[in-house]
Amino acid sequence: MASTANPTRADFEALLNEQLGSAGEDGFEGRVVHGTITAIENGMALIDVGLKSEGRVSLREFGRGDGEPELKVGDDVEVFVDRVENSEGEAMLSRDRARREAAWDKLENEFGEGKRVEGRIFGRVKGGFTVDLDGAVAFLPGSQVDIRPVRDVGPLMDMPQPFQILKMDRRRGNIVVSRRAVLEETRAEQRSELIDKLSEGQVLDGVVKNITDYGAFVDLGGIDGLLHVTDMSYKRVNHPSEVIGIGDTVKVQIVRINPETQRISLGMKQLESDPWEGVAAKYPIGAKVTGTVTNITEYGAFVELEAGIEGLVHVSEMSWTKKNVHPGKIVSTSQEVEVVVLEVDSDKRRISLGLKQAQRNPWEEFAEQHPVGSTVEGEVKNATEFGLFIGLPGDVDGMVHMSDIAWGISGEDALALHRKGEEVKAVVLDVDIDKERISLGMKQLEKGAPTAKGATGGTGGGLKKNDVVTVTVLEVRDGGLEVQAGDDGATGFIKRSDLGRDRDEQRPDRFQTGQKIDAMVIGFDRSKKPNFSIKARQIAEEKQAVEQYGSSDSGASLGDILGEALKQKGE
């Protein structure tokens, strides 16, 4: 090897190869190398990296973001070699590329170790923001800026802050970072530290941060707890805003801490005395108390007896007379009502109340005021296939069976005589308080109706079967005659077929109202009303005449026999 005092071209080449390795000058391209600033002129820095010629780098690429760069001749700097020699024979160098390459190397190591990196948000792009990670540009999605949506990102711009790398692709030059992940991790760490200091049953002050329909979130000094609406008060709370407001300082007790989810349940009513203690002694079964209707549902109404004590009046206990009616049509919210305690279950915190029990049983009251046999008056509420329902005093209904509507006609015909809304009179036949039934009769009020004595004796008005009496025609109908025995005797009916033996005689229109005729009692219906027959009377008289005046076989005709009988009767 030649003397170092007089190096030859071969010596210089050997030294260069020793520095660059076997790659020679071509090994410089695409690499970050160290160089020395040899001069600074016209906003450019001349840098010697050991190649044939120096390279130029703009001073702006050395900027630190604040003021002018502080560079001087002799400074050692790192640059990236784009090309060893350009068309002008100069080396193509880049300080920005050198910084990016160094940043990528550092970021890859930190990403592999799961470390946080520091960066600055410096721009806004579609879907998010750009972040400078000390030379490498990363993308920050809008959803990863904060835990909650951020309306104004201005205060976060150009401020050094930590980020978490979510994804890296050096070949494509893509980096995705998250600020939210750092905040969540920090928050979780702080939350764990705070939770370790808390315990169930602990009482502390908190500030209401947010209110929802189901409760409120209370800040306990860096950690939130949920105060459910059912734990705010023993009394009914329809909405949390009725009890607390945002910003209020409240005293709460930690009811439960879930170690897995780190959720904290809070309570306010737990700091109050429990009103259910001794409730059974305070509200004994059968006691009549006053309360206020707080809520109405399809199955009943809730009545507040005192703060924190509510009972349910089931729909079946709302009214004696109004069945299958929505509770809202009987009571209204905030109405003060009188109720009776039916059942108390302290363990389940339930009280069953009765609204109708606080009022007199209307059937008992009716039975006292209208005993059997008394006359009542009411409106026909409804007509069914078996009778009429009559509205009676006390908001109760009585039923007139179709057989008790009128004498002498069928039940179907009797039903047709009356219509809904008609005012009628009836007799009380029976009152069943347990079954809540009142039986009425209308025909019992008709003139000449069977008396109680006649009914008991099995006859109508003292009449007996086969008696022949004189009756007065009260009404002529298509089916026969409505008649009355004597002037004020029992009323009865003569069917069309009983008006005479011959068909011509069986015409109701041959009789007139007020006409008196003789008829025979042929029986009684189930209401003890007598049935009469002219035909039976005629047959009986014929039989009697034959027995008295001889058989027709003696040579006398039937006409002669009857004629003689009538003559005798006339005399």
3 state SS for 496-522: HHHCCCCHHHCCHHHCCCCCEEEEEEE
Distance between CA atoms of residues 326 and 323, nearest Å: 9
Do 207 and 164 lie in a common domain?
A: no
The CATH number of the domain where 85 resides is what? 2.40.50.140
For residue 514, what pLDDT is reported?
A: 87
pLDDT in tens, 127-179: 899 998 877 788 999 888 888 877 788 888 888 999 998 988 877 878 899 99
Give mean pLDDT, residues 174-201.
83
Residue 289 has pLDDT above 70, yes or no: yes
Range of the domain at 245: 198-271
Q: Whole-model pTM above 0.75?
A: no
Among 217, 247, 250, 243, which Cα is nearest to 148's?
Answer: 217
Is the pLDDT confidence value at 449 over 70?
no
Residue appearing with tokens 């792009």:
125
Task: Convert the pLDDT of each residue in 471-528 to its tens digit.
Answer: 988 888 888 998 888 766 778 889 999 999 888 888 999 999 889 999 999 887 655 6
Chain-centroid distance of CA 316 in Å reads 20
- The answer on 473 and 423 residing in a single domain is no
364-393: per-residue pLDDT in tens?
888 888 888 889 999 998 888 888 999 988
C-alpha distance from residue 68 to each of 39, 124, 259 (Å): 17, 26, 55
Residue 452: the pLDDT is: 40
Same domain, 465 and 541: yes
- Same domain, yes or no: 178 and 225: no
- Domain limit, last residue, from 271, 295, 320: 271
Mean pLDDT of 427-455: 74
64 and 130 housed in the same domain: no
Number of domains present in the structure of the chain: 6
Q: How far apart are the first and last CA of the chain?
A: 192
Q: Are 83 and 91 in contact (CB under 8 A)?
A: yes
Residue after which a domain boundary falls, among 391, 419, 445: 445
DSSP line for 532-555: EEHHHHHHHHHHHHHHHH--GGGS
Contact 267, 253 (CB under 8 A): yes
**Confidence class of residue 73 from pLDDT cuts 50, 70 and 90?**
confident
Task: Report residue 455's pLDDT band, with 50, 70 and 90 as the boundaries.
Answer: very low
Give the model confidence (pLDDT) of 234-274 as tens digits: 888 888 988 898 888 999 998 898 877 778 899 998 888 77
Residues 19 and 83 in one domain: yes
Q: How many residues does the chain have?
A: 571
Return the pLDDT at 559.
58
Q: What is the pLDDT of residues 114-138, one digit of tens each?
A: 788 888 999 989 989 999 887 778 8
Does the residue 565 lie in any domain?
Answer: no
Whether residue 423 sits in one domain with residue 399: yes
pLDDT of residue 458: 39
